Chains A and B, each alone.
Chain A
Amino acid sequence: DTEVTQTPKHLVMGMTNKKSLKCEQHMGHRAMYWYKQKAKKPPELMFVYSYEKLSINESVPSRFSPECPNSSLLNLHLHALQPEDSALYLCASSQEGVWLAKNIQYFGAGTRLSVL
C-alpha cells in the first residue's frame, strides 16, 4: 500500500473561519510534508516533519499551523486565511534516515482550498 490519504478533497472557507486539513499514511514513513500548489505552478514546500518533529518551516505565515499527532497523521490548521491562499494543498510522506539511498516521496491527491 503506497497510499497517502488527504481529507477533505475540497474545502471552501471564509477569511474568519478555522478549518483543518488532514493527511494519513500507513506505510511506516517517518517523514511527512505539506506543499502548496497554485494553478499551473509547481508545488512549493511549506513544512517537513521528521519523526513527528517539525524539521523545516519554509517561512510560512502563522495562519498556517501544522501538527503531527503521531507517525501516521499530519494536520494543517488554517485560521484567518486570505483569498491568495486558495490553492491545492498536497501532503507527502517518505522513509526517513540519512542512511537511506533513496527518498521517494509519495503524494496524496490534495485538498483544493478556496478562500472567499
Chain B
Amino acid sequence: KQEVTQIPAALSVPEGENLVLNCSFTDSAIYNLQWFRQDPGKGLTSLLLIQSSQREQTSGRLNASLDKSSGRSTLYIAASQPGDSATYLCAVEGVRNTGKLIFGQGTTLQVKP
C-alpha cells in the first residue's frame, strides 16, 4: 500500500530565505507526483506535476525534483515571501492513470515579514 510522508510538518522562516520541503513515498511505481498548495479553508491549487520519467519541473520561484528510485521528491522555494504562507501537499498517482491521488499529510509553511 502506497504511503506518502512529508517532513517537516510545519516550518517557519523569515522572508527572503530559500527553503526545501520534502516528500517521500514507499512504492516507487508511480505515474506522476504533484505538489499542491492549500490556503486555510480553501481548495487545492496545483503547483507542479512531475511525470515518472522526469527528474524536475520548474515554475517561477518553485522547483520540484523527483528521484523515483529512492522514493523522494523535494519542493524548493526560492526567495520566500509572506504570500507563500500556506500548506503544501504532495500527492502521488499510481502507475495506472486512474486519477487516484495519495496525499501526504502536508507541510504548513509560515513566512514571516
Beyond A42-B106, A102-B51, A103-B93, whether A109 also contacts B42 by CB under 8 A is yes
Q: Would you call A105 and B46 a contact (CB within 8 A)?
A: yes
Instruction: Bin the interface of chain A by size.
Output: 20 to 34
Contact status A56-B100, CB under 8 Å: yes
A94 and B99 form a contact (CB under 8 A): yes
- Whether B103 lies near A42 (C-beta < 8 A) is yes
With a CB–CB cut-off of 8 A, which chain B residues contact A106? 46
Our pick among A31, A48, A88, A104 for the contact of B49 (Cβ within 8 Å) is A104
Bound Cα distance from A7 to B34, whole angstroms = 26
Task: Give the A-B contact count at a CB cut-off of 8 A.
Answer: 65
Cβ–Cβ < 8 Å partners of A53 in chain B: none
Contact A90 B49 (CB under 8 A): no
- Give chain A's interface residues, CB within 8 Å of chain B: 4, 6, 31, 33, 41-45, 48, 50, 55-56, 88, 90, 92, 94, 96, 98, 100-110, 112
11 other A-B residue contacts (CB within 8 Å) besides A42-B104, A109-B42? A43-B44, A55-B98, A102-B49, A102-B51, A103-B31, A105-B34, A106-B46, A107-B46, A109-B43, A110-B43, A112-B41
The 10 A-B residue pairs whose C-beta atoms are closest, nearest first, are A42-B103, A107-B43, A107-B44, A109-B43, A104-B46, A98-B97, A108-B43, A110-B43, A31-B99, A104-B49
Query: Can you show 17 pairs from A to B with CB atoms below 8 A apart?
Result: A42-B89, A43-B103, A44-B103, A48-B100, A55-B98, A88-B41, A90-B44, A96-B99, A98-B97, A103-B32, A103-B49, A103-B93, A104-B34, A105-B101, A109-B42, A109-B43, A110-B42
